[in-house]
Structure 1
């Protein structure tokens, strides 16, 4: 069983851009969204897609299963997703032995920027880059699942900059 262990933060400034390792555009939606589980379809760039099942109510650790699927299937599945299609560019930045994923949102959440770090164990204590803002691990408003199923753009306007 695969486990996802991650911490999530808002981003305080743009200095992380000096260290970008990769850049990938994502489009994703949730075809199942329940309190304790979800099924997400994601298109990465133009030529790769995945179907991801996440189970668990914890904010730090959840079971996660991810499978490659044809892009054409993903495009079709996205048309069935209720709510919003999340559009974002994910950048990766390496910092003191950990890879940080910085999501810069577009569409309804244009301007929202969130950083995540995946951990090997719950006890991992990565060094926090200076460009991080407040930690939002466990704050459901910053979960992609909730961003896709609830219109939180007005509620998050204090962190969204044009």
Structure 2
């Protein structure tokens, strides 16, 4: 079974930008969200994936499958409605791990979230200075919830 072990943080300041090694624009939409299970389609450059995520916070089931780009674009256009997120993902190495700093666009402009996948739930994590409040267990900051918002969450 696929497992995702991930922590998420709001980002403070711009210091993370100096460590960026790569960036890619992502367009993703949610085909289904029910009982804390989500089905997402994502286009990243010329690649596309269908992802199914189960309930959980730090640790949760995750299954990813490549899909033809043309099919993914059609799903985004016809099946996702207003449940979409556009963002640029920046890769920032820190503390032996690669952090993904997402800069959101459109109605979520101004929101910046960093996430880091861990090899184990108890893996020690050296937080960069720009990692602010942890939102791993705050459902308001899940991409599935953000995809339906007209503005970033407050608080």
TM over 0.5: yes
What does residue range 9-158 of structure 1 map to in structure 2 within 5 Å? 9-45=9-45, 47-56=46-55, 58-78=56-76, 79-148=78-147, 150-151=148-149, 153=151, 155-156=153-154
CA distance in 2, matches of 1:111, 1:143: 16
CA distance in 1, matches of 2:82, 2:33: 10
Please report the RMSD computed on the Cα atoms of aligned residues, expressed in angstroms.
1.3
The secondary structure found in structure 2 opposite 1:51 is strand
**Unpaired runs of 5+ in structure 1?**
none
The secondary structure found in structure 2 opposite 1:17 is helix
CA offsets, 1:117-155, max 9 Å, x none? 10111101210000111111110111001111x325164
Equivalent pairs counted in the alignment come to 154
The secondary structure found in structure 2 opposite 1:43 is strand
Which TM-score applies when normalising by structure 1? 0.90
